[in-house]
């Protein structure tokens, strides 16, 4: 069912600044200059709205954010949402999808949390930040967005945090959802939703002080990288598989042994891929993988899977509890 917000929105909105290109200015070398209040001030349509408040959490390029920074941003957003306030987080696009996914993992309220940013600095001709911010606020104020979890609004499109990926470096529609497509669109300040994703039970990690590695694979992989990663004694590993969950039998054996001791979750290299269950039966196929303790992550990207696994291990979940948590995405 298509849901369009046509009535005047009434929800209070809190804009949380976390730096990024949307807050940058300068020609020939943009740097972060605008805080959350400064971003609000440049959007005339928003300066006339009385129920918007601002707070700057951090002012950094997102490539500089630590896990502690990201958790602080997410907690500030969640705490505001718990008070019934719609939240907009302005964030750098380099790591936006990771912070948005983490925020969705810990978000436990009905009020919307919306991430947005910009591709062009505020000082650039045709800067896209103001339009993205205006759209994000319209979604955060929308009653139709209530209960949807964390959303990413960019280039007029609405994506869910679990599906959104930055798939273009310079396009004004830099984010897409390869598995599901966008959930909706913002047109003339009115959000329209075409679909919804079911929400997952939230987690509440005390701190993201664990170490989870992403280890990709490729043809001819002899396990050198896998053994090096395991030699660092990680708290968990996100591993790449080929095709629909396939590995060389020797590599699968290595990861299967590791999965008996630490959580090992597996993603598919195709960005619209999932781990199959029973199409192939050769050694190292998806059937062999599913017979091990390795946990398929479904449609999650490797970076999204890492953030979720970090939250799981930091919350003290056992391997079986982590398996249950990821089963919700393994459809």
Q: In sequence order, what are the residues at sequence separation of 6 or more whose Cβ sits closer than 8 angstroms to the Cβ of residue 316?
A: none
Question: DSSP 3-state helix, strand, coil percentages of the chain (rounded to 5)?
Answer: 30, 20, 50
In this prediction, residue 8 has a pLDDT band, given cuts at 50, 70 and 90, of very low
In this prediction, residue 4 has a pLDDT band, given cuts at 50, 70 and 90, of low
Nearest-10 Cα torsion for 119, 124, 130, 135: -30
Share of the chain above pLDDT 70, in %: 96
Angstrom distance (rounded) from CA 176 to CA 6: 25
Tens digit of pLDDT for each residue in 174-205?
Answer: 999 999 999 999 999 999 999 999 999 999 99
Exposure pattern of 42-53 as b/e (b: 16+ CB <10 Å)?
A: ebeebeeeeebe
Known catalytic residues are 21
| Average pLDDT for 72-90 | 97
| Average pLDDT for 11-34 | 92
In this prediction, residue 1 has a pLDDT band, given cuts at 50, 70 and 90, of very low
Report the chain's mean pLDDT, rounded to a whole number: 94
Q: Residue 83, class by beta-carbon neighbours within 10 Å (0-12 exposed, 13-18 middle, 19+ buried)? A: exposed
In this prediction, residue 3 has a pLDDT band, given cuts at 50, 70 and 90, of low
Helices in the chain by DSSP H: which ranges?
36-41, 44-47, 67-82, 96-106, 129-140, 224-230, 249-258, 286-290, 302-314, 319-327
Q: Which domains does the chain have, with CATH numbers?
A: 3-193 (3.40.50.1170), 212-327 (3.40.50.40)
In this prediction, residue 2 has a pLDDT band, given cuts at 50, 70 and 90, of low
Q: 128 in helix, strand or coil? A: coil
| Average pLDDT for 128-152 | 97
Q: Which of 38-47, 55-64, 139-148 has the lowest mean pLDDT?
A: 38-47
Tens digit of pLDDT for each residue in 199-251?
Answer: 999 999 999 999 999 999 999 999 999 999 999 999 999 999 999 999 999 99
Tens digit of pLDDT for each residue in 250-289?
Answer: 999 999 999 999 999 999 999 998 899 999 999 999 999 9
With 0.85 as the threshold, say if the pTM is over it: yes
Radius of gyration of the chain (CA): 20
**pLDDT given for residue 44 in this prediction:** 86
Share of the chain above pLDDT 90, in %: 90
Q: 327 in helix, strand or coil? A: helix
For the cut 60, the answer to whether the pLDDT of residue 131 exceeds it is yes
Angstrom distance (rounded) from CA 309 to CA 255: 16
| Average pLDDT for 157-186 | 96
Bridge-based pairing of strands 113-116 and 86-90 is: parallel
In this prediction, residue 6 has a pLDDT band, given cuts at 50, 70 and 90, of very low
DSSP code per residue over 135-198? HHHHHHT-GGGTTS-EEEEETTEEEETTT-EE--SS-TT-EE-TTT--SEEEETTEEEE----P
For the cut 60, the answer to whether the pLDDT of residue 302 exceeds it is yes
Per the CB < 8 A criterion, the answer to whether 116 and 142 are in contact is no
């Amino acid at each position: 069912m298509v849901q369009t917000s046509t009535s005047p929105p009434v929800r209070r909105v809190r804009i949380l600044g976390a730096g990024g290109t949307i807050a940058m200015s300068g020609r020939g070398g943009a740097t972060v200059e605008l805080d959350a209040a400064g971003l609000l001030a440049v959007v005339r349509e928003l300066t006339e709205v009385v129920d918007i408040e601002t707070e700057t959490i951090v002012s950094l390029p997102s490539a500089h954010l630590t896990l502690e920074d990201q958790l602080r941003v997410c907690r500030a957003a969640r705490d505001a949402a718990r008070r019934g306030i719609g939240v907009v987080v302005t964030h750098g696009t380099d790591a936006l999808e990771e912070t948005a996914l983490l925020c969705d993992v810990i978000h436990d309220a009905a009020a919307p949390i919306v991430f947005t940013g910009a591709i062009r600095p505020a000082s650039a001709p045709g800067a896209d930040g103001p339009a993205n911010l205006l759209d994000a606020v319209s979604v955060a104020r929308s009653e139709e967005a209530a209960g949807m979890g964390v959303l990413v609004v960019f280039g007029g499109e609405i994506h869910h945090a679990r599906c959104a990926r930055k798939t273009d470096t310079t396009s004004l529609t830099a984010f897409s959802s390869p598995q599901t497509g966008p959930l909706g669109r913002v047109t003339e300040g009115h959000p329209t939703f075409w679909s919804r994703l079911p929400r997952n039970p939230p987690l509440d990690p005390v701190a993201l002080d664990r170490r989870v590695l992403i280890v990709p694979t490729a043809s001819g992989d002899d396990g050198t990288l896998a053994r090096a990663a395991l030699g660092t004694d990680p708290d968990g590993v996100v591993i790449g598989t080929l095709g629909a969950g396939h590995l060389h039998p020797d590599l699968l054996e290595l990861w299967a042994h590791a999965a008996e001791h630490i959580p090992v979750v597996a993603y598919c290299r195709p960005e619209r891929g999932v781990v199959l269950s029973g199409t192939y039966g050769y050694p190292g196929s998806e059937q062999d993988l599913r017979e091990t303790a390795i946990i398929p992550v479904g449609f999650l990207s490797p970076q999204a899977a890492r953030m979720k696994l970090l939250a799981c291990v930091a919350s003290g979940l056992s391997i079986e509890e982590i398996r249950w948590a990821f089963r919700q995405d393994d459809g």
